Amino acid sequence: MPNTFFSTERSAIPLATKEYRGRFAPSPSGLLHFGSLIAALASYLDAKHHHGKWLVRIEDIDPPREKIGASQAILTTLEAFGLHWDEQVLYQSQQTQRYNQVLYDLATQKLTYHCQCTRAQIKADGGIYQGRCKTLNLPKQNNAIRLINHFGINQFNDLIQGSVTCDQALAQEDFILKRKDGLFAYQLAVVVDDIFQDINHVIRGCDLLEPTARQLSFFATLKQTPPQYGHIPVASSAQGFKLSKQNKAQAIDNNHPQPALIAALVFLGQATEKEMINASIEEIINWAIKHWQRDKIPKTTEIVIA
């Protein structure tokens, strides 16, 4: 049975002939930090340098991790740093009907099944889910929904990192689309929303290289053309921790954004000028758009910052 939710006509237009549409998709689990700024800036500059649209999506599908007021604070910070989005902000919490329709379509095509395996069981099996629930015909109550992964894509060409090869066993895993607790999984939401918003370029951190392989398999399952992906290095501390909300990375300063903005440009390998510290945010952003060079971004997965 054909997928009834997505029109296959979206895949008919080659990416090269379509308007560039990029996005930044933070989760409201905390305030934006320097690592978040790097990702937002890279995606924004790549879109604007290529005369494209830049969208913002709030990934608020995990309420237990969400911080009160974080969504608005993130948007306020983006505006303070001169990163203005082109279309209405999409909140994943408002996409429930869309996600459920996709799950229904997949179930109708017998492309999903229910799974009761715990993390402990999967860890005991070597850390990769082995499909033990695939033929058990379990009920949906208190069980996760897994995709029958017919594609297992583990290689792709990255706009920044070049040829990327991910762990084959992990790429072939039947991954979760909806959790036992009833919350939608990241892999489901991000792919469905990228299709819905016609996103054709995704610039983000190298911590998402392996999820990209899964997302490519999911795009193939849905018979949709995936975006072109580009992964920038992840900023980490001298102690070896990725700068993240989970690791309590310090929020960036909305009141004096120039130093962080210039530091982010340097991190991304972009040439800067001494006089920029005295420029307005608008002047810095306009300069950065004009002089953006994707090929200057370091081709490494991680950079330690002081």
Residue 304: the pLDDT is: 84
pLDDT at position 123 over 60? yes
Cα torsion angle, 272, 277, 278, 284, sign: positive
The model's pLDDT over 151-161, given as tens digits with 9 standing for 90+, comes to 999 999 999 99
Q: Using CA atoms, how far apart are residues 166 and 158, in angstroms rounded to an integer?
A: 12
- CA dihedral for 15, 162, 26, 252, sign (positive or negative): negative
What is the pLDDT of the chain when averaged over all its residues? 90
List, for residues 27-78, the tens digit of each pLDDT value. Answer: 999 889 899 999 999 999 999 999 999 999 999 999 999 999 999 999 999 9
Q: Where are the domains of the chain?
A: 21-304
Per-residue pLDDT of 173-230, as tens digits, reads: 999 999 999 999 999 999 999 999 999 999 999 999 999 999 999 999 999 999 999 9
| 306 Cβ contact list (under 8 Å, min separation 6) | 238
> Using the 8-state DSSP alphabet, how is residue 90 labeled?
E
Provide the pLDDT for residue 305.
81
**pLDDT given for residue 191 in this prediction:** 98
Q: Is 60 exceeded by the pLDDT of residue 17?
A: no
Lowest mean pLDDT of 10-14, 98-102, 144-148, 243-247, name the range: 10-14
Q: What is the pTM of this model?
A: 0.91
Distance CA 165, CA 158 (A): 10
Contacts of 11 (CB under 8 A, 6+ apart): 223, 224, 225
- Does the structure show a pLDDT above 50 at 14? no
Q: Which pLDDT score is estimated for 90? A: 98
Instruction: Report whether pLDDT(144) > 70.
Output: yes
Q: Where are the beta strands (DSSP E) in 84-138?
A: 90-91, 112-115
- pLDDT score recorded for residue 54: 98
Compute the distance between CA of residue 36 and CA of residue 24 in angstroms, rounded to an integer. 10
Tokens of 75: 């948007």
The CATH H-level (homologous superfamily) assignment of domain 21-304 is: HUPs (3.40.50.620)
Tens digits of residue pLDDT in 222-281: 999 999 999 999 988 655 545 554 545 567 889 999 999 999 999 999 989 888 999 999
Per the CB < 8 A criterion, the answer to whether 156 and 216 are in contact is yes
Residue 183 vs residues 24, 52, 61, 137, 200: alpha-carbon distances, Å = 22, 33, 7, 21, 26
- Pick the more confident residue, 129 or 275: 129
